[in-house]
Amino acid sequence: MSPPPRPVVRSDGLIVTEAGGDTLVYDLATHRAHSLDPAAARLWRLCDGTRDVAAVAAAAGTSEEIARYGLARLSAVGLVVGAPSDAAPISRRALLRRAAAVGATVVLPVVLSVIAPTTLQSQASAGCKGVPCINALSCCALHPMCTGRPDDPKPGQCV
Amino acid sequence: MDRLGWTDAIVLDAFGLRIGVRSDSPALLRRAAARWTATGARLVTAAEAGAPDVLVAGLLSLHTGARDVTAGARPPMTLYDGAARIVRTADREELLEALDATLRMGIAHASPTHLLVHAGVVGYRGQAIVLPGSSHAGKTTLVRALLARGATYLSDDVAVVDGDGRVLPFARPLAVRDRAHAPQRPVPAESLGARVGAEPLRAGLVAITRWRDGATWRPRAVAGGAAALALIPHVGGMQKRPEHALGLLGRLLDGATVLRGPRGEADACARALLGAVDARTA
């Protein structure tokens, strides 16, 4: 019988900072930014490779089920390696429903993610593709060409 | 490129970057320089540089063909970024707009000292109201509505954030569309009866919104990491200098209220935003 997995945080290629009580993690490999609420950040920091999931849950003061849920989220975004891979991972909704059934309040770890834009994307628009236009000045830098013609009353589209 | 007959050159010091601009038309170069010195950039003098050659982060070239005596007709004008051709046009205004966009993109990408957020900004009660949004989100329309209600103008398209997290004035004329998806035309804030802000301001309110037909401004507050994540899609240089960008983003958001949601008519949203600042400062 193999020993239970001991999840460990990925430490290379990450920039970690604080934002109003949450932990912001920027992944230099994927250019994704992740926000960990205090519950998720606590789980993340406890993954030092010496604890299995039960020990992480005990140290975080939460249930093993919730720790398993949080570690699955952290693993999915690449911040933890070696987390147990469940065949049927429990969903957030199921956890909340179970807690409500017994009248309990649970604090679920929250991990939010966003892809960092290139400078061009950030300063232009991801949304002008296909918008009606009459010339290039109606369009944005990402999709700078207009298929319309100034002498044509029918508008073109930014491409 | 170097044999195209350049007659004049300037070096702009803009938000921590030195960028060279050269041209074969002194008049056009003067106009280009004036547009940027009005927004806080300054010209590096030869005496200040202390050497005939100045090290620049990039070199843009405005070629008009003014000295091309062999051309039968005035040739189209061209903007180059390094050796890459950015635009060829017969319209001087379009050429200057392309130069501005290229300069801004370069500064957003590589400024070592500032952060450029794609956002409109007004000042009210000594605080900045920052309105991040992509093109066609309705930033300029909302800025105009805020100006009509007494806010001061800082920018309709870019929030320049300094090392302390304050928002600097970047008071280019508003780029107004007379109808959706029409070409933009420049409208000075003063011609709308608005005052133009001169001082850096701390952000009091950040409203992430875009116009949606029939929507009512009922925002929800976002805080902490979620607020930072909401702004990241509008931050320049994020991939190139993430540590720098996250640091300045944190300082920008420090103490600010962040609201998010779609809006309907700009005037109703403007009234609510100013009311939110009034409530903060009461």
Contacts of B237 in chain A (CB under 8 A): 119
A32, closest residue in chain B (CA to CA): B239
Residue A126 banded pLDDT, cuts 50, 70, 90: very low
Contacts of A20 in chain B (CB under 8 A): 223-225, 227, 253
Residue B42 banded pLDDT, cuts 50, 70, 90: confident
Contacts of B234 in chain A (CB under 8 A): 117, 122
Arithmetic mean of pLDDT, B63-87: 75
Contacts of A13 in chain B (CB under 8 A): none
> Does the beta-carbon distance from B246 to A17 stay under 8 Å?
yes
Q: What is the pLDDT of residue B137?
A: 81
pLDDT over 70 for what percent of chain A? 75
Which tens digit of pLDDT belongs to each residue from B170-197? 988 888 877 766 667 888 889 999 999 9
Does residue A34 contact residue A80 with C-beta atoms inside 8 Å?
no
- Nearest beta carbon to residue B136 from set A24, A37, A131: A131
Distance from CA of A108 to the nearest CA of B (A): 16
> Does the beta-carbon distance from B247 to A17 stay under 8 Å?
yes
Domains of chain B: 8-110 (no CATH), 115-281 (3.40.50.300)
> Does the beta-carbon distance from B101 to A141 stay under 8 Å?
yes
- Mean pLDDT, chain B, as a whole number? 88
B107, closest residue in chain A (CA to CA): A119
Distance from CA of B24 to the nearest CA of A (A): 25
Which range has the worst mean pLDDT, A79-83, A136-140, B104-108, B172-176?
A136-140
Distance from CA of B48 to the nearest CA of A (A): 31
Residue B71 banded pLDDT, cuts 50, 70, 90: low
> Does the beta-carbon distance from B225 to A135 stay under 8 Å?
no
- Judged by DSSP in three states, A80 sits in strand
CA distances from A114 to A139, B10, B225 (A): 25, 40, 11
Mutate to test the interface with B, among A121, A122, A131, A137 (most CBs of B within 10 A): A122
> Does the beta-carbon distance from B242 to A28 stay under 8 Å?
yes
Q: How many CB pairs under 8 A join A and B?
A: 129
A123, closest residue in chain B (CA to CA): B118
Higher pLDDT, B91 or B149: B149
- Nearest beta carbon to residue A138 from set B104, B181, B223: B181
Q: What is the pLDDT of residue B256?
A: 95
Above 50 in pLDDT, residue B52? yes
